[in-house]
Amino acid sequence: MAVNKLALIRYKTIDDCLKNRFRKWSLDDIIEKVAETLYELEGITSGVSKRTIQADIQLMRSDKLGYNAPIIVKDKRFYAYEDPNFSITKAPINQADVDKMKEIVGVLKEFNAFNYFDEMSDMIARLENNLYKSTRQSGNNIQLESNKLVKGLECIPPLYQAVLNKRSLLIEYKSFKAQQSQQGIYFPYLLKEYRNRWFLICKAKKRNGILNLALDRIEAFQELPNEEFISYQGVDFEWYYDDLIGVTKSERDRAHKVILEFNNENAPYVVTKPLHSSQVLVSKNDKTTIFRIDVVLNYELEREILGFGECVKVLEPRLLISKIKRRLEQVYHKYVPENVI
């Protein structure tokens, strides 16, 4: 059951009241105390209804949140804990919950290895410490693909904030082909990851079209609070990259029907891990299996195909066939002695 912030404040306040054995708590007293707390913490002036507090007490009594609070009514008027030492903050966690939280902590630790959000480090450490305080710690049972040597990961938190808050950026960028870095004003729209490499999808102030800047090539950047942020019109980034492998795409690019023939020894790998969400199995015989994907023709697609080596053959489209053939010929010449050619 999902519990919102205001509900947690109410439960905690009711718990504080019932733990106080030096005062008798009527329902009206509890309502008044909860209203005071909501005003102090959240600035809520509308108070809280009698029905809400009654429902909260019933929920605290139940097992829905795992509290099982022994709340009783004395003299048909005053609420109290039957066990004077009870508190919902001391409620035990069952083993199933502990095991599930261990899994979650393991996943969080793996994601945090990228240092996406620095503030998570302390939170995860405290969560893990509290969780394992009364349990025997076991080794990490989940490992996600990561590469801590990848450059630019430290840029993710501030760039994420710039995207979130629609802030214009002054970026100093040096591509692999450039001899010197260049500065420019950019409007960031999206952070995108492909194979442990991160890209900022943006538009340059002085250029048309969408760009992707590799974070490992960004040398410096800063927000420009006085530079008006310009949203990109005509593109919905929720679906813009749906027909793509990788990040390389222009607005003019359209998906092509790509037909790939795999030998049957490797076809199961493609079945269980599709190359793209559009993948469908076209046909199968004793030796080969044919798949279709509908994607933009780009460099990342070529690399994906070449990664299968001799196990795959491109059947369509002709443009992709010629590109793959040309690249394989170049590879071939690298391994053949010059006097043999």
- The Cβ-side half-sphere exposure at 126, using a 13 Å CA radius, reads 5
Residue 39's CATH number = 1.10.10
Token reading at 340: 């043999």
When divided into structural domains, the chain yields a total of 4
Judge if 83 and 101 occupy the same domain.
no
**Domain residue limits at 208:** 153-223
Task: Determine the Cα–Cα distance for residues 263 and 285; give it in Å rounded to an integer.
Answer: 10
Q: Which of 90, 113, 144 corresponds to the end of one domain?
A: 90
Judge if 69 and 83 occupy the same domain.
yes
Q: Are 30 and 55 in contact (CB under 8 A)?
A: no
Judge if 112 and 84 occupy the same domain.
no
Decide if 137 is inside a domain. no
Q: Are 256 and 297 in contact (CB under 8 A)?
A: yes
Decide if 238 is inside a domain. no
Decide if 71 is inside a domain. yes
Task: Determine the Cα–Cα distance for residues 168 and 205; give it in Å rounded to an integer.
Answer: 9
From the CB of residue 246, how many other CB atoms can be counted at a distance below 10 Å?
Answer: 21
Decide if 125 is inside a domain. yes
Judge if 320 and 297 occupy the same domain.
yes
Contacts 24+ apart (CB under 8 A), 274-280: 275/245, 275/304, 276/245, 277/242, 278/243
238 three-state secondary structure: coil
Q: Is the Cα torsion angle 91, 96, 99, 100 positive or negative in sign?
A: negative
Q: If you search the block for the tokens 């992709």, which residue do you land on?
A: 320
Judge if 9 and 80 occupy the same domain.
yes
Residue 213's CATH number = 2.30.30
Amino acid at 94: N
Decide if 281 is inside a domain. yes
Closest by CA position to 173, among listed 189, 160, 184, 162: 184
Give, for all 341 residues of the chain, the pLDDT tens digit: 445 788 889 999 999 999 988 889 999 999 999 999 998 888 889 999 999 999 999 999 988 877 889 999 999 999 999 998 888 887 665 556 666 666 666 666 555 544 555 555 555 555 555 555 545 555 555 555 666 667 887 888 889 889 989 999 999 999 888 889 999 999 999 999 888 889 999 999 989 889 999 999 999 999 999 999 999 888 888 899 999 999 998 888 999 999 999 999 999 999 999 999 999 999 999 999 999 999 999 999 999 999 999 999 999 999 999 999 999 999 999 998 776 65
Task: Determine the Cα–Cα distance for residues 31 and 46; give it in Å rounded to an integer.
Answer: 12
Judge if 64 and 18 occupy the same domain.
yes
pLDDT at residue 130, rounded to an integer: 57
Judge if 108 and 83 occupy the same domain.
no
Decide if 143 is inside a domain. no
Burial (CB count <10 Å: 0-12, 13-18, 19+), residue 302 = middle
Decide if 242 is inside a domain. no
Decide if 244 is inside a domain. no
pLDDT at residue 24, rounded to an integer: 92
